[in-house]
Structure 1
Amino acid sequence: MLFFFISTIGKFLTKDEDRDRELMARIKARDTAALSELYDNYYRLLFGLILSILKKREESEDILQEVFTTIWEKAEQFDTERGTVYTWIVSLTRNKSIDRLRSKVYKEQKKQSVSLNDEDVFHPLYSEETNPLENTILTDRAKRLHNALAEISAKQRKVLQVAYFNGMSQSEIAEEFDIPLGTVKTRMRDGMMKLREILGKELKG
């Protein structure tokens, strides 16, 4: 679900995949200016993703820095044949966030689901630093995604939230909330299908 949200917003930010691939080529050649440009293009979006998972600004800022350090150190691992630069860095960001969430420090804390009123999930996607057009696009898309979540059932929303915002596996969700594993899978599948339907209509509109 979260990947679908970020991908939807990302369509309006990844205006030029050729540009991103060129930046990655320059990063592989150890061009620090290219890394700075990539950071400027995506730091707001990635920070929003991290914050939605960790819920702590300081921790999220640390992970954001780790992400771009990893991009610099492991740029050679990006395979142009397997996807876009955008999907690669989003996957990298989510994986690092989930790893931190599952770390010893976070394991000691009780998992909490994301509230639909939690502005931290979407607010970092736009700020005064963006241009007016980009702000308008991001604000509008964030509201549409927020509203789409409200349109699916509470049970579907719950399992999707704890899975994608808290990094819980289907088995962990079943155990945590005492729900049959098959039921968890069904709710997640049906919820995803409903969200895709709602957001698909929104985008066409």
Structure 2
Amino acid sequence: MEQELLVKELLLKNNNSFTLLYDNYSKNLYGVIYNLIRNREEAEDVLQEVFVKIWNNIDSYNESKGRLYTWMLNIARNTTIDRLRSKGFNNSQKNLSSDNFVYMLEDNSKTMNRIDAIGIKRFIKKLKPKCIQIIELLFFQGYTQQEASDELEIPLGTVKTQNRNCMNELRMMINE
């Protein structure tokens, strides 16, 4: 189903369109959520919350501002970050065994494999190293712009400008 038609059907609250949307995008969104949250059950809960938000807020999607997937990805990312910052999630993490943190020992190539799962690895590889670093922090590790600024030891305004420029560059590559 074409994106325009899918959005129209979603706006009409057509259950079949929701099923199609879920079938086509749930694996990719789950991958992004899991990459940030690192807990299968929490990631599944967040994914469900994301699709409820998509369903309830589809009327706020504006095609002229970007693709449907990008809009949904932002909802997924923001919902995951909200969950990570929630008091309940933070309290639940205090009692986890060290087995839950084995992922920290993984090498960076696995992160790139997860990125490839949503089909943008080849585009990101073409960006300048600074862009790759900013995109990795902001979009795949869930850093805020302030946290990225602190991590990279550059001014917040520079992070914002570089992020905007990098995303524009990535958008142009994808649209070519």
TM-score w.r.t. the length of structure 2 is: 0.65
Quote how far apart the aligned CAs of 1:178 are.
Answer: 9.1
Instruction: Give CA deviations for 1:139-185 in whole Å, capped at 9, x if unaligned.
Output: xx64x468669x948xx74x65443333223433455x594x43x77
Contact 1:50–1:63 under 8 Å retained in 2: yes
Q: Which has the higher contact order (CA 8 A, sep 6+)?
A: 1
Contact 2:148–2:159 under 8 Å retained in 1: no
Quote how far apart the aligned CAs of 1:116 are.
Answer: 0.7
Instruction: Give CA deviations for 1:74-94 in whole Å, capped at 9, x if unaligned.
Output: 222122333322221111111
**Alignment pair present for 1:30 and 2:13:** yes
**Alignment pair present for 1:60 and 2:43:** yes
Corresponding residue for residue 122 of structure 1: 114
**Alignment pair present for 1:164 and 2:139:** yes
**Alignment pair present for 1:90 and 2:73:** yes
| One-letter amino acid of the counterpart of residue 66, structure 1 | E
Gaps of 5+ in 2: 95-103
Q: Sort the Cα spacing of 1:163 and 1:191 in 2 relative to 1 into closer, same or farther, 3 A.
A: closer
Quote how far apart the aligned CAs of 1:21 are.
Answer: 2.0
Higher normalized helix content (fraction of residues): 2
Aligned runs of 1:3-82 on 2, under 5 Å? Answer: 19-82=2-65
Instruction: Give CA deviations for 1:100-155 in whole Å, capped at 9, x if unaligned.
Output: 12212444559x798414359618938xxxxxxxxxxx5xx64x468669x948xx
**Identical positions, percent:** 27
Aligned runs of 1:78-157 on 2, under 5 Å? Answer: 78-107=61-90, 115-118=107-110, 122=114, 125=117, 138=119, 142=121, 144=122, 152=129, 157=133
Contact 1:47–1:60 under 8 Å retained in 2: yes
Gaps of 5+ in 1: 1-15, 127-137
TM-score w.r.t. the length of structure 1 is: 0.58
Contact 2:77–2:142 under 8 Å retained in 1: no
Quote how far apart the aligned CAs of 1:189 are.
Answer: 6.9
Counterpart Cα distance in 2 of 1:113 and 1:166: 15
Instruction: Give CA deviations for 1:53-82 in whole Å, capped at 9, x if unaligned.
Output: 112222111111111111111222122333
- RMSD (CA atoms): 4.1
Contact 2:149–2:159 under 8 Å retained in 1: no
